[in-house]
Each structure stands twice: as C-alpha cells, then as structure tokens.
Structure 1
C-alpha cells in the first residue's frame, strides 16, 4: 500500500519549473560570492580557515584558485538551470558546495547547510525530464509525470526546517522581543526604514510573526482554503527578510518551493503553457523500491534527530554552542567576546601572550572570541606552530563572552591547558564552564509602549 502511494505518477510541472529557478539561484549564489567579495573576506583573509573539526585537509586553494572554483560552480548552476548533463552537474555543484561548507565556520549559516541538503535531494529527482537540453539531445528522456514521492520528500524537508526554526524561537530572549530589538538596532541606519525598525511594536511583531510563520506556513500552504493567503504572506515575509537581513538566495528559494503546494494545472498554465498536463493513474514501481524507501526513511530520521541532540548534551546550547549547527537555530542570539591566549614553554617555563590578531581576519577574530570549538581549534594550531620550532607548550585561555544582552562571563576554564585538551564531537566538553545564563538576574522585560 505504501509503495503504491509513493510511486503513483503525478504531473511534474512544479519540479521542472523549480529546477530552472533552483539552477538560476545557485548560479547567483556562486557568482555572487565573487562579485560581493565574500570569497575574499571569508576564505582568503587570514592564514587559514576554521574548518569543521575532522576536515582539516579542506583549506582554500592558493592564489586565485577559489575564484576559479566558484566560477566553475556557477557554470554547473547554469547547466542545472538548462537541464544539461543535469545529474552530473547537480552532483558536481553539490560536492563543491559541501567542500566549501565544511571548509569554514566563520560565515556559518543554516541556509548554507540547507542548500547542501537540497543539492543532494535534487540529484535524486527526475528534474531534467522536460524542458531541458538533456531531453533535446535525447528525446527518450522526456516525461510529463514523476512519482509522488518527489512532492513528499521536498515538503517533508521544508516542514522539518520551518518547524524546528519555530520551536527554537520559544525561549525568553525571543519571547520578550529583546532579541528582535537587538537585531533591528543593528539596522537603524537603513535608508527609509531605519527609524521604523526601531519601534517597539515592530520588535514584538517580528518576534511573534516569526514563531507563527515558521510553525504554520507549511500546514497553511497544504490546506487549500488558506493556501493563497499563506502564499501572499510568504511573499511579504521572505522579501522583508531579504531586504532587512541580506541572507542571499534563501528567501527566493523559499518562494520557489511554494510551486509544490499549488495544483499542477495552475503551475502549468502560468509557466509551461505548451506542456501537456498529466492526467493518468499509473503506478510505476522500481525493482529497488525497498532500499530507496529505507534510504530516505533513514535520511529523515537523521534530519529529525539532529536538531534534538542539544537537549541531551549537558548545559545550554546558547552558551556552549554544542548542538547548535545543523539544527535550524536561525538568528536566535547575538554574541560578543573578549579573549587572550597565554603560552607557556613547558621546558623553560617562559610565559608569553600570543597575538592572535596577526593570524586571523576580523571575521575570524569575532568567531574565535565566542565559539568553544573554534577556540579549541585555534589552540591546536598555536601548538602545532610552536612544535615546528621544537617547542612544547601549554596554552591557557582567558575568554569572556556575553549572550544577547547579558553581562560578560568566563566561557573557558582558565586552569585548563587547551593545548592538551581533547574535543568531544558528540557530548559536552568539560573545559567549557557552566552557563550562568539561567542564574543571571534577568533585566526588566522588554515591552512596547502601552504594554509595560
């Protein structure tokens, strides 16, 4: 029964149009990184990048190599858009994007992670079976239908992303709108809307509209009576985010996903007027359907489990960052930090401070002052540099951070030799001091005029 439901053929208009938009957007993402200076500021400034732990071999190419790298990625994006060598092109872009994603954490963004997942999903979908160069060169590939599981996978992935994003916002600094106020304070100089964004009612609206939109948008798009209203709300919500937060292609990708919620006939009539509408009732089940169902089942179990892991890791994820990544915790907090490193020669006992700024870009300096895993990585780097000089050293860190509008507190145990400390990939690292956030006396709730 399950396989009949999954493999029933449905019209593929939404997938074909989405492929073209998706290809355009990933092209813009790659070539935009060149045009905006993102590559320079994120990958080339500083002596090295803070890769995901365990992927130390992933470092930027020398010279202008990364510009050529992103140029090639953009070309693969064009091929995806045109449906040319589709499977190869989307896999190639996906592998190159994954390497860059794992290469650096200074510009970590949940949307980068989402794009990595989407590239993997798109590689599995028959998105080149109509209106593509692949079909032009090989007409036998042409199809006007696809299995129903295509819709299910895309909608399920979106539901996971939005639901966890909504749940993550349910914590004190978001619920009292103070986090929204901080986000908007950084945008007070925006042309035309800067002063408007500083109004109290705007902060409260952002806080609660954010929770409700993320939590309800997928059900609202699935439910026919609310679909059109949800679509127009989505347009406003995502364009607002694009203008205010400058988060790249994600708002437009999100709008493109709404194609999968509207009837195929509507999508066909707007975008593919010359295409025949599939109206059959076929069920085409591949011989390997059981492994395919098992594979995607495992994938979604992992996707559901990953954002929950911080609940079983000791202490507060806002403080430790353990379990923060890969969890759809978007724009939830701001952090500031002050850090210094003391290096002691184990043989001579000579102490010296280490000037970390000479090795790191400004962006990296901000990250190394607040993220425990990056601090640990940097200490290992310092240790290796001294080892090359024939010196064995101990490294002690004095790091104080503030989360949102809290006071500064010590993050790393100053008595622990970080050169000898180990990194626990899955559980809590005891050299991170206990979070003071729950014990700190909260400031009076942020409230709009008339609600104090």
Structure 2
C-alpha cells in the first residue's frame, strides 16, 4: 500500500507550473526588496546587525554588495522559472536565501523560513523535466511523470504550517479577539476599509476565520467536493492578508501551492493545453527506497518537533519568546516596551547608560526593547566594544514589556550581569523573569 501511495507515477503538470510560479514569485520578492527600500533599511543602513546567534560572522556586504546579492537571487528566480540550469539555480538560490535569512532577524518573518524549506525541497524534485529550457538539451522525450511522494511532501509540509498556526492562535487574547483589536488599530488610516477594520464585529470575523481557515483549508482542498469552494475562500483570504498586512509574496505563494491539490487534467487544461493527458499507473520502486523514506521521515520528524519545543522550555513562549521562531506562530502577538542598558566598569565601579540611537535604527530599537535574544546580543556587543577600549564591564538591563496592549511588566532581571551570561538555544534563561499572571488570563 505504501509503495503505491509514495511511488506511483503521476502526471507532473502541478510540479511544472509550480516551478514557474515559484521562480517568478521569488524573483519579484528579491527585486522588490531593492525597489521598496527593504534592503537599504534592513541590511545597509544599520551599523550593527542582529544576526541569528551563532552566525555573527555572517554580515551584510558593504557598499552596493547587498544590492548585487539580491539582484543575483532575483535572476536565479527567473532561471528557476525558465528551467534553465535548474539544479544549479535552485541550489544557489537556497544557499543565498539561507544566508540573508541568518544574517538579520530584525525583520524576521515566518514566511522567510518557509521559503527556505520549500527551496530546499525543490532542490530534490524533478521540476525541470518538461516545459523547461533544460529539457530541450536532452535527446530523449521530456518526462511527463513524477513519483506521488513529490505531491505529498508539499501537501504535508503545508499541513504542518497551517495546523500549527491554528493551534498557536488558540490562546486567550486571540479567542476573546483582544489581540485582533490591537492588530487592526494601526490600519485605521487605510483608505475605505480602515474604519471598518476597527469594528468589533469585524474582529470577531477575522479572529474566527483565522483559526478556521488554518485548521480546515488543507483537508478542504484535499476533499474533491469542497475543493473549489476552498480555493475561492483561499483567494479571498490571501488577498485580504496581502492588502491589509502587506506581507510580500506569501499570499501568492500560498495560492500557487493549490496546484498540487487539483487533478492534473485541470492543471493541464488551464496551463498546458497542447499537452496530452497522461494516464499513469506505473509503480517504480527506487533502488534506495529505505534511504529515501528514512530521509523524508527524519525531515518531517524535525518539522513536527520544532513547533512544540516551547512546551519543553520553562514559562510561556508568549512572554519569553523562547521557542517562538520556526514554529509557525504567525501574527500572534504585539510586543512593546522600554529598555535601558547600564554599562559598569568593573575596575572602578563607574557606569554610563548606552545610547541606543548611537548604535541602532528605529526598527532595531523597537525589537531590542522586547526580545531577549536581541537584548543579550546587544549586551555582548557592548562588552566586546568596551574590551576593545581596554575595559572589563558588566551589563545590567532595565526592561519592561507589554504584550498585546496590556500594562508594562518587568521583563529582564535587573540584577543579572548579561555580559557574563551564556546563551542557550533550547532551554530557558533564568534572567528572563516569570510571565505575569495577566498574560494567561
């Protein structure tokens, strides 16, 4: 049964058209990052970059280097869409995208992480066997089939994303729609819809639809009787997100994924009209079946483990942020706060307060006030800077944080010298104070 489920040959129309959509969208993402000023604001202007901890060596290129970096990625996207030197193009794009993802987290977005996963998966998929410039180089006829597991890898990856996103929303501030009110408040000045988005009944619809859509969309697309309705709902849902939240290519990438849920005949009729429909029932068992199945299994085991790791870390992830990233906790909370860094000279006890404006952009200042890894990293930077001036210092932080518009609460233990504290990737940091009771209420 599993051999038939995974290794049956099926029409590859969905994969071919997805490759084209995917390449075009990542190209638009990269070129758009330059045009909209994202590259300049996020990677060029900051004098200090918050990388992922452990990747401090990975810094933005100086001068026009990052513009060229994104131009190369955008061009690779076009090569992927055209199926030109596909394997080299998709591997190169994946490595470059991982690089830009790790070198900054001020503008962290779950969608950037998803793009890493999909790009990495696409490296191993036969997406250039037809309707690709690569396919014209071979004397043999272009392949019109793919193993069924190609489809199910994409489907299961999406199921994980949406399901964990739905589960994460099932907490107090979302269920009583309080967070939706906070989320929509900055949209009040939007033309035409701004005032509507402030209405309580709209908050109820948005909050309820957010959970129901994430929870049901994959099953609804898989079940033929509800597939067309689910697709129409997807269009409305993702266009709404695109207009209101302006989150780049993700809504359109999500719509592109739907090609894997429709019958190949439907995809062929719309996008490849001259192509003959293939009736494929052959089952081809790969020579290294167990290695392939084990690799896929281990990958998805990791994908299931990462979103639940915060349950094994002390305190509430909504407060500590420990285990938040790479867990599909999307648009889930609003964090604001205040912070002050006290730099104490160990030699004579004199101290000064670090001026954040001398080091950080406004966007970085908003992040550092409320995120523990940003706070720790900046403390280490101040320590290193002082050491370069021949001083050994202690760093103490006074920080207060508000979650979802609630009252400010002390976040970091002001008695702990953060310059002397190590960083743990998978466990709790005792210098983050316990979550206030009002958080769980």
TM-score range, shorter chain: over 0.9
Other structure's SS at 1:166 match:
helix
Q: Which moved more, 1:323-332 or 1:279-288?
A: 279-288
The alignment status of 1:106 with 2:106, answered yes or no, reads yes
Counterpart in the other structure of 2:303: 303
Counterpart in the other structure of 2:249: 249
Other structure's SS at 2:419 match:
coil
Counterpart in the other structure of 1:407: 407
Counterpart in the other structure of 2:82: 82
Counterpart in the other structure of 2:375: 375
- Cα deviation 1:246-295 (Å, max 9, x = unaligned): 00000001111111111100110010011122113212222122111100
- Cα deviation 1:290-319 (Å, max 9, x = unaligned): 111100100000001100011111001011
Counterpart in the other structure of 2:268: 268
Counterpart in the other structure of 1:328: 328
- Cα deviation 1:95-142 (Å, max 9, x = unaligned): 000011111110010000000000001111101011000012224371
The alpha-carbon deviation at position 441 of structure 1 amounts to 9.3
The alignment status of 1:118 with 2:106, answered yes or no, reads no
Counterpart in the other structure of 1:146: 146
The alpha-carbon deviation at position 349 of structure 1 amounts to 1.1
Question: How many residues in Structure 1 have an aligned counterpart in Structure 2?
Answer: 441
Counterpart in the other structure of 1:428: 428
- Cα deviation 1:225-264 (Å, max 9, x = unaligned): 1111101000000000000000000000111111111110
The alpha-carbon deviation at position 5 of structure 1 amounts to 2.6
**TM-score if structure 1 supplies the norm length?**
0.96
Other structure's SS at 1:30 match:
helix
Aligned partners of 1:34, 1:440: CA distance in 2, in Å? Answer: 39
Counterpart in the other structure of 2:236: 236
Other structure's SS at 1:19 match:
helix
Counterpart in the other structure of 2:159: 159
Aligned partners of 1:318, 1:140: CA distance in 2, in Å? Answer: 55
The alpha-carbon deviation at position 2 of structure 1 amounts to 2.1
Aligned partners of 2:290, 2:3: CA distance in 1, in Å? Answer: 8
RMSD of Structure 2 on Structure 1 (CA): 1.1
Q: Does the 8 Å CA contact 1:14/1:267 hold for their aligned counterparts?
A: yes
Other structure's SS at 1:343 match:
strand
Other structure's SS at 1:344 match:
strand
Other structure's SS at 2:418 match:
coil
Aligned partners of 2:7, 2:141: CA distance in 1, in Å? Answer: 18
Counterpart in the other structure of 2:40: 40
Ranges of 4+ aligned residues in structure 1 off by more than 6 Å? none
Q: Which moved more, 1:351-360 or 1:413-422?
A: 351-360
Counterpart in the other structure of 1:394: 394
Q: Does the 8 Å CA contact 1:334/1:403 hold for their aligned counterparts?
A: yes
Counterpart in the other structure of 1:184: 184
Segments of structure 2 that go 5 or more residues without pairing to the other structure are none
Q: Does the 8 Å CA contact 2:23/2:80 hold for their aligned counterparts?
A: yes
Segments of structure 1 that go 5 or more residues without pairing to the other structure are 443-452
The alpha-carbon deviation at position 377 of structure 1 amounts to 0.5
The alpha-carbon deviation at position 3 of structure 1 amounts to 2.9
Aligned partners of 1:259, 1:132: CA distance in 2, in Å? Answer: 18
Counterpart in the other structure of 1:97: 97
The alpha-carbon deviation at position 24 of structure 1 amounts to 0.2
Q: Does the 8 Å CA contact 2:172/2:440 hold for their aligned counterparts?
A: no
Other structure's SS at 1:419 match:
helix
**TM-score if structure 2 supplies the norm length?**
0.98
Q: Which moved more, 1:285-294 or 1:222-231?
A: 285-294
Q: Does the 8 Å CA contact 1:188/1:197 hold for their aligned counterparts?
A: yes
Aligned partners of 2:440, 2:169: CA distance in 1, in Å? Answer: 21
- Cα deviation 1:132-189 (Å, max 9, x = unaligned): 0001222437111100001110000000000000000000000011111111111000
Q: Which moved more, 1:273-282 or 1:65-74?
A: 273-282
Other structure's SS at 1:340 match:
strand
The alpha-carbon deviation at position 439 of structure 1 amounts to 4.2
Q: Does the 8 Å CA contact 1:45/1:360 hold for their aligned counterparts?
A: no
Other structure's SS at 1:380 match:
helix
Aligned partners of 2:71, 2:216: CA distance in 1, in Å? Answer: 38
Aligned partners of 1:439, 1:110: CA distance in 2, in Å? Answer: 27
Aligned partners of 2:4, 2:217: CA distance in 1, in Å? Answer: 28
